[in-house]
Amino acid sequence: MKGHVDLLLLSTLRTGPLHGYGVVEKLRGLSEGAFDLAEGTVYPALYRLEAAGLLSSSWTKANGRRRRLYELTSRGRGELARERDEWQAFAHAVEVVVT
Amino acid sequence: MIEVYLDDLDRELGAVGIRGRLRRRVLAEAEDHLRADDGALERFGTPGEIAGAFAAELGARASRRAAVGAFAALGVAGAVFAVSFVSAQFAGQPPPDTWPLLAQLALVAAIVAPQVSFVAGSLALVRAVRRRELVLPSAELAVINRRTGVALLFGLVTMAALGVLALELRNDSAGWWVALTLIGVAFAMPLLVLAAIPAAGAARLRPRVAGDPGDLFDDLGFGRMAPWRFAGRVALGVGLVVFLAAAVQGDPFDGALNGSAEALACLAGFAAFGRYLSLRR
């Protein structure tokens, strides 16, 4: 999973903004529990993607608590499209070889 | 339990050098996450693991940016130095052996310091550009940070020495040269100080990622040999260039003296900074 964290995180945010917990929940749901990671380690990657200009974030209030929401920037959408194309080409090539 | 965890995380973040606004943000997000459901605390990861992941993810980027920023600031300082040094020969200065002692010391500093600064800054940039991985070994980040720090420190020494020279020689040099040098120094020094801020921030981060610091040959990507043999060849080459430049101008004796001094300075620099800047293992 380590080499594909960026693609996975960007993909979870493609349908709209989420907070860190939401990102982890969505990742777990979509993968049907296949990605078992220490949930807190998602945050450093989110920070890095934000610093790279692929995500933006802002504080909101929910249930009386401060909550940071992350969303894709236009650069992030471009990067997601590029990484997804790369992944699909790679996955297709592997499938052709192994089947 | 959550409060205890957050206290531990706070301490661990401090231990890896994450402070201030960033630390407050990490803690606020962690608290929101941990209170989202009853099992979140077990799944979140240990405080040490999370703090280490932050330092590792942020460390490489911080060191890279600091190295690039420092090199840009040093480029400006280098231009100031070159203009001042080249134009000095038209400023009507007396020969250096008649200068006051402070000016002579400043001259030595203005010759040695920019060379150290240039080599350290270039090597920091080379390592930062060559290693594009998201996470780098802690030892390697320390090398980039040290090189950046040494480059900036010696860049500041160079600018200070130029300033001292201009002030000490103000009565023996053309006014335009003194003004030009002092204005250049006043412009370049704040840039170097500004570049030192992200460098200090990067040096504060202490990720715990295992790995080798590498050496000069990892930076160059070729020519691996015994380090001192390499240093000897570089020193010989630099000495020869200095000698030939003087010989072409009709002063081979002076060239031989300066070339020898330059070669010895090269070897001394390698001895003094070789391990600290990871030029050799």
Domains of chain A, by residue range, sit at 2-98
* pLDDT band at A31; cut points 50, 70, 90: confident
Closest-CA residue to A55 (of A21, A15, A28, A17): A17
Which of B8, B9, B33 to mutate to probe the A interface, most A CBs <10 Å?
B33
**Every domain of chain B and the residues it spans:** 2-45, 66-212, 214-281
Q: Is the predicted pLDDT of residue A3 greater than 70, yes or no?
A: no
Contact A65 B35 (CB under 8 A): yes
Calpha distance B135→B273 (Å, rounded): 26
Could you give the CA distance from residue B61 to residue B39 in angstroms, rounded to a whole number? 33
| Residue B1, pLDDT score | 86
Identify the contact set of chain B against chain A, taking CB-CB distances under 8 A: 25-26, 28-33, 35-36, 40, 43-46, 49-50, 53-54, 56-58, 61, 134
Classify A2-98 by CATH class.
mainly alpha
What is the phi/psi pair of residue A67, to 5°?
A: -140, 135
Distance from CA of B266 to the nearest CA of A (A): 39
Q: Which residue of A has its CA nearest to B40?
A: A39
| pLDDT tens digit sequence for A36-93 | 778 998 999 999 999 889 999 999 988 788 899 999 999 999 999 999 999 999 999 9
Q: Tens place of pLDDT for every residue, chain B, 281 residues?
A: 899 999 999 999 999 999 999 999 999 999 999 998 888 899 999 999 999 999 988 899 999 999 999 999 999 999 999 999 999 989 989 999 899 999 999 999 999 999 999 999 999 999 998 888 878 898 999 999 999 999 999 999 999 999 999 999 999 999 999 999 999 999 999 999 999 999 999 999 988 888 888 888 888 888 788 889 999 999 999 999 999 999 998 888 989 999 999 999 999 999 988 888 888 87
Q: Which pLDDT belongs to residue A32?
A: 85
Closest in A44, A52, A65 to B54, CB measured: A44
Predicted confidence at residue A76, as pLDDT, reads: 95
Which pLDDT score, from 0 to 100, does residue B71 have? 96
Distance CA A29, CA A8 (A): 12
Q: No. of H helices and E strands in chain A?
A: 4, 3
Question: Tokens for B117?
Answer: 């600064």
The beta strands (E) that lie in A1-99 are given as 18-19, 55-62, 65-72
Q: What is the pLDDT of residues B29-72, one digit of tens each?
A: 999 999 988 888 999 999 999 999 999 888 999 999 999 999 99
Residues whose CB falls within 8 Å of the CB of residue B18, separated by 6 or more in sequence, listed in order: B26, B51, B54, B55, B58, B205
Closest by CA to B269, choosing from B130, B114, B141, is: B114
CB atoms within 10 A of CB A47: 22
Q: Of B137, B143, B272, which Cα lies nearest the Cα of B219?
A: B143
Q: Which of A41, A46, A50, A79 would you mutate first to test chain B, the one with the most B CBs within 10 A?
A: A41
Kindly tell me if the per-residue pLDDT of A2 is higher than 80: no
| Cβ within 8 Å, pair A39-B44 | yes
CA closest to B49 among chain A residues: A41
A44 CB neighbours in chain B (<8 A) are: 50, 53-54, 56-58
Tell me how close the Cα of B3 comes to any Cα of chain A, in angstroms.
Answer: 15
**Closest chain B residue to A45, measured at CA:** B57
pLDDT confidence of residue B45: 92
**Closest-CA residue in chain A for B34?**
A21
Distance from CA of B43 to the nearest CA of A (A): 6
Give me A16's structure tokens: 């709209």
